[in-house]
Amino acid sequence: MSLARKLALISCAAWLTIGVASALLIVDSGVDGLASPSGDRTRSILAAIILPGYFIGFALIFWTRNGRRAGEIDERDKKIERRATEIAAIIMLLTVFLVSIGLYDAYLDRGAVPVG
């Protein structure tokens, strides 16, 4: 397995785990629970869940930089990296769109979505 594929799998596994844990926490506390002043603890836990993903991302950037210097990354790996970025952008756009539609549907009867 090439270095680029290995790094992509590590990144995917990390962010998938973070995403599932975040979703479970948000579903458990509810949107109102996150927005209220009593949700400080929940927001702190959510931040603590997301923070390791950024550390892993920075570590992977340095690992990639060292791999380029060592000659472990070639044109195929750059193509994989480009394709993975395209897929990640599409997934992120779809997620934001679907969450927005879900919030709209959930609060349609109330007339407005809570600001928090």
In a domain, 86, yes or no: yes
Mean pLDDT to the nearest integer, 60-79: 77
pTM of the full predicted structure?
0.65
Mean pLDDT to the nearest integer, 27-45: 81
Residue 65 belongs to what domain range? Answer: 3-106
* pLDDT recorded at residue 114: 67
In a domain, 82, yes or no: yes
In a domain, 115, yes or no: no
Reported as a single tens digit per residue, the pLDDT across 12-32 is 899 999 999 998 988 888 777
Q: Rounded to a whole number, what is the largest CA-CA distance in the chain?
A: 59
* pLDDT recorded at residue 18: 93
In a domain, 61, yes or no: yes
Total domains in the fold of the chain:
1
In a domain, 113, yes or no: no
